[in-house]
């Protein structure tokens, strides 16, 4: 019994290996390629080819693609496999219409006295990512600013809906920002919106948000599908 006890203790003391780290690294590498434009919308992502390229197990690639699918960056189709997500003109229009509804509601909550500190912090993070010229973090921070507007409603379900919408949009927005090269102008636009919110002029703030999102929808459609 003693030997069995020692054996059990030895098994318990063995450190657990974090098997997700390789998956995270592969997902991160693919994410960078997507945001850099190296993998265009509609591009098929073959598990065997990627496993050979990254020199990892096919199962690791499969798990990494599941991570990216959850973020809306890739899409899995029956009998077709995984491809880089591509949006239609209608997809883009519907996403921005839904965002306008959610973010306008959040903006009104801000006008009614909701704490704007999280919005201010999100804008600072976005500006820092632009200064660092980090395309992945820049797109993430840009969308997080908009999600912070929805969060002013204090409704977790609506925030989850906003996250789902921006997940579908990340890749398209990254493509637009690469083409425009005007991230600093975007930061200035967001700062103007926050200034209007702080001033209490909710009419002007709503008009600015409407202008911003409608303009973004046009830019995304022109860049992604040439509409």
pLDDT < 50 positions in the chain? 1-3, 5-19
- Please write down the HEC assignment for all residues of 102-169: HHHHHHHHHHCCCCCHHHHHHHHHHHHHHHHCCHHHHHHHHHHHHHHHHHCCCCHHHHHHHHHHHHHH
Q: pLDDT at position 8, please?
A: 41
Q: pLDDT at position 26, please?
A: 93
Instruction: Please write the tens of the pLDDT for every residue from 69-100.
Output: 988 889 999 888 999 988 888 989 999 999 99
Q: What is the pTM of this model?
A: 0.75
Q: pLDDT at position 150, please?
A: 96
Structure tokens that stand for 79 in this block: 């009998």
Q: pLDDT at position 111, please?
A: 85
Q: pLDDT at position 52, please?
A: 93
Q: pLDDT at position 190, please?
A: 95
DSSP string, the chain: -HHHHHHHHHHHHSPPP-THHHHHHHHHHHHHHHHHTSS-TT-EE-HHHHHHHHTS-HHHHHHHHHHHHHTTSEEEETTTEEEE----HHHHHHHHHHHHHHHHHHHHHHHTT---HHHHHHHHHHHHHHHHT-HHHHHHHHHHHHHHHHHTT--HHHHHHHHHHHHHHHHHHHHHHHHH--HHHHHHHHHHHHHHHHHT-HHHHHHHHHHHHHHHHHHHHHHHT--
Q: pLDDT at position 208, please?
A: 96
Q: pLDDT at position 195, please?
A: 95
Q: pLDDT at position 48, please?
A: 93
């Amino acid at each position: 019994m003693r030997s069995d006890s020692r054996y059990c203790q030895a098994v318990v003391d063995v450190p657990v290996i974090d098997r997700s780290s390789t998956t995270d690294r592969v997902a991160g590498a693919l994410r960078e390629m997507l945001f850099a434009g190296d993998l265009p919308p509609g591009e098929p992502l073959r598990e065997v080819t990627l496993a050979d390229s990254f020199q990892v197990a096919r199962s690791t690639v499969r798990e990494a693609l599941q991570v990216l699918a959850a973020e809306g960056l890739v899409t899995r189709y029956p009998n077709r496999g995984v491809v880089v997500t591509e949006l239609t003109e209608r997809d883009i229009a519907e996403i921005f219409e839904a965002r306008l509804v959610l973010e306008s509601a959040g903006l009104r909550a801000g006008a009614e006295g909701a704490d704007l500190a999280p919005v201010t912090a999100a804008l600072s993070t976005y500006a820092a990512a632009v200064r660092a010229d980090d395309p992945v973090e820049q797109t993430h921070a840009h969308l997080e600013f908009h999600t912070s507007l929805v969060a002013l409603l204090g409704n977790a379900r609506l925030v989850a809906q906003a996250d789902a919408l921006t997940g579908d949009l990340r890749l398209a927005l990254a493509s637009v920002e690469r083409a425009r090269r005007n991230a600093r102008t975007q930061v200035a636009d967001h700062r103007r919106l926050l200034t209007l919110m702080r001033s209490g002029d909710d009419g002007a703030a709503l008009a600015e948000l409407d202008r911003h999102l409608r303009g973004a929808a046009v830019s995304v459609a022109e860049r992604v599908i040439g509409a």
